[in-house]
Structure 1
Amino acid sequence: MSASVKVRRQFPTSKVMWSVIGWLVVFVFFFPVLWMWLESFKTEPQAASSPPTIFFAPTLEEFQQVLSGDFPPYFINSAIASIGSTLLVLVLGLPAAYALAIRPVKRTRDVLFFFISTRFLPFAASLVPLYLLARDLQLLDNIFALALIYTTINLPLGVWLLRSFLLEIPPELFEAARVDGAGFFTEIRRIVVPLVAPGIAATSLICLIFSWNEFFYAVNFTSSVAGTAPIFLVGFISGRGLFYAKLAAAATLASLPVLIGGWIAQKQLIRGLTMGAVK
């Protein structure tokens, strides 16, 4: 009896320590975002002051100036390129992942290696051929051409992720569906999509984030017509005048879609990223 009481009175030191470490790590990663949000509600003199202004009266003046300027077209371009490329990745990647996971062939591993090997190529190495191709096809400064480039970047990753999710589906389900006369599209619609919906949501969000934040190809393939939100943010950086508060306000607006999408799909995202982790 005394032993059990002694065990109950033990303080979970290790658990508390790991909790504190975890919260410290979260704070370190979240602090730059929090500071950006705080800077966006300051005036330009307050944002550029040294030491930093901690206590201030929040204002929406910088947001109004950003929204009344050229930000909306850049924001719309980012939405078109990111959402369009993510949809293309799903449309092209889901059948490819189905073939590699459900109906593998002899060279499946070689095909998988080919897909992932395209990610080994540095972006700078592919810039010149892609630029020449876009120039000859008159697709420079075209938002749809940028969406196609984003698709080629994210498609290998999408195929790999979707294949890993499809491998968790019992093969007996497909065998039973084929006995009932189900075809390829019926299997995709009735079996694959409902069962791997969390994985599809996770893949979509990852591809959306990569496309939304992409800068290298956007700065080289666009100028004024098809510029995206990262291009707009770079335009604020200048050696003349104060720009910290406006830059923080524009960065906050540019990050909202990804943050809101991640918050809405957080349950599906967690389920998708942990599929297959526990047998």
Structure 2
Amino acid sequence: MSAATMTRSSATATATAKRRSPVMRRRKPLRRRITGAVTTTITWVLVLGFFFPVAWMVFTAFKSEAAAATSTPTFITELSFDRFQDVFDRGFTAYLLNSMTASVMSTLIVLLLAIPAAYGLSVRPLIRSTDALFFFISTKFMPIAAAIIPIYLLLQNFGALDNISALSILYVGMNLPLAVWMMRSFFSEVPLEIIEAAQIDGAGFWTELVRVVLPIVAPGIAAAALICFIFAWNEYFLATILTSTTARTTPPFLGSFVDGRGSFLAVLSAAATLAVLPVVIAGWLAQKRLVRGLAMGAIK
């Protein structure tokens, strides 16, 4: 094949590619737009599906009991804050403070214990650390209902029934294994070169942990802390059996609104709306660190 023939063939191929490329460019963005539109639609449907029960609960909290109990949902009705006043009249503030005390206290203790434990199992691995991790997670194998009788008798012998401090300690045992496992994955992402550089500069263990490692894994710690707080805030089983009046928390208090006559939907919705507000506010304040923290450990 001569050079002229090869030149003409190359020019023909180039011209054909130029004629086809606009079509390909038009088709590809069209497929992307359709895929993006379908994905966005499905996402919004799922979001609205999950959000609608919460929105309906908040809306029901402003209704009267008669409007809330109708078999046909009513959207146009008289709204008021009377149900919220009924909730506070039944002593909601004391239960809210108990939940806040138990959740915050247990979360702080969990962080104090889980941070050095996770650090020792990841950055400074111990001998047979896998066995230690298995021991932590094995504490979650048995349902809490299977251990409630020994726990009840133990607290009864120590006079710790209906005690908010005892309940907080139980929440620590409930959330500590989860926090250790989560934080271990966060600490594992810290580059060893940074830690070795700090050690060469003469940093001790606590300086290395507090000033070097913790700022790097702060989003992960915030995510673990928020999850532990939510689990402690929503815990119902232990709070119902081990407390009666003094240390009773919000979840058992919500159950007290259920009435056999059926006139409880509006006031229960109002109480549930007030109960979820602290968690929603905490999640909203920590949302940036939460998203970043939950993403830590996903890519190695």
TM bracket (short chain) = over 0.9
| Structure 1 equivalent of residue 12 of structure 2 | none
Is 1:168 the equivalent of 2:189? yes
Task: Please say which of residues 107-116 and 28-37 is displaced more in the overlay.
Answer: 28-37
Give the secondary structure class of the aligned counterpart of 1:139.
coil
Alignment match of 1:224 (pick from 212, 226, 245):
245
Counterpart-to-counterpart distance in 2, 1:107 and 1:127 = 31
Q: How many pairs are equivalent?
A: 279
Is 1:110 the equivalent of 2:128? no
Counterpart-to-counterpart distance in 2, 1:188 and 1:55 = 58
Counterpart-to-counterpart distance in 2, 1:241 and 1:169 = 55
Counterpart AA for 2:269: A
Gaps (5+ residues) in structure 1? none
Counterpart AA for 1:8: R
| Structure 2 equivalent of residue 31 of structure 1 | 52
Question: What are the equivalent positions in structure 2 for 1:113-132 lying under 5 Å apart?
Answer: 113-132=134-153
Is 1:207 the equivalent of 2:228? yes
Counterpart-to-counterpart distance in 1, 2:255 and 2:88 = 16
Alignment match of 1:66 (pick from 82, 87, 99):
87
Is 1:8 the equivalent of 2:26? yes
Counterpart-to-counterpart distance in 1, 2:110 and 2:26 = 53
Q: Which runs of 4+ in 1 moved over 6 A?
A: none
Deviation digits for residues 30-59 of structure 1, max 9, x if unmatched? 111111011001111111112111112321
Counterpart-to-counterpart distance in 1, 2:183 and 2:258 = 39
Counterpart AA for 2:26: R
Counterpart-to-counterpart distance in 2, 1:50 and 1:60 = 22
How far 1:278 sits from its partner (Å)? 3.9
Task: Please say which of residues 83-92 and 237-246 is displaced more in the overlay.
Answer: 237-246
How far 1:28 sits from its partner (Å)? 1.6
Deviation digits for residues 207-254 of structure 1, max 9, x if unmatched? 001000000111110001100000110000011351111000000000
* Structure index of larger Rg: 2
How far 1:21 sits from its partner (Å)? 1.5
How far 1:123 sits from its partner (Å)? 0.9
Identical residues among aligned pairs (%): 52
Task: Please say which of residues 5-14 and 121-130 is displaced more in the overlay.
Answer: 5-14
Counterpart-to-counterpart distance in 2, 1:5 and 1:246 = 63
Give the TM-score of the pair, scaled to structure 2.
0.90
What is the alpha-carbon root mean square deviation over aligned residues? 1.4
Is 1:180 the equivalent of 2:201? yes
Counterpart-to-counterpart distance in 2, 1:216 and 1:145 = 14
Alignment match of 1:139 (pick from 149, 160, 164):
160
Is 1:54 the equivalent of 2:72? no
Counterpart-to-counterpart distance in 2, 1:239 and 1:37 = 22
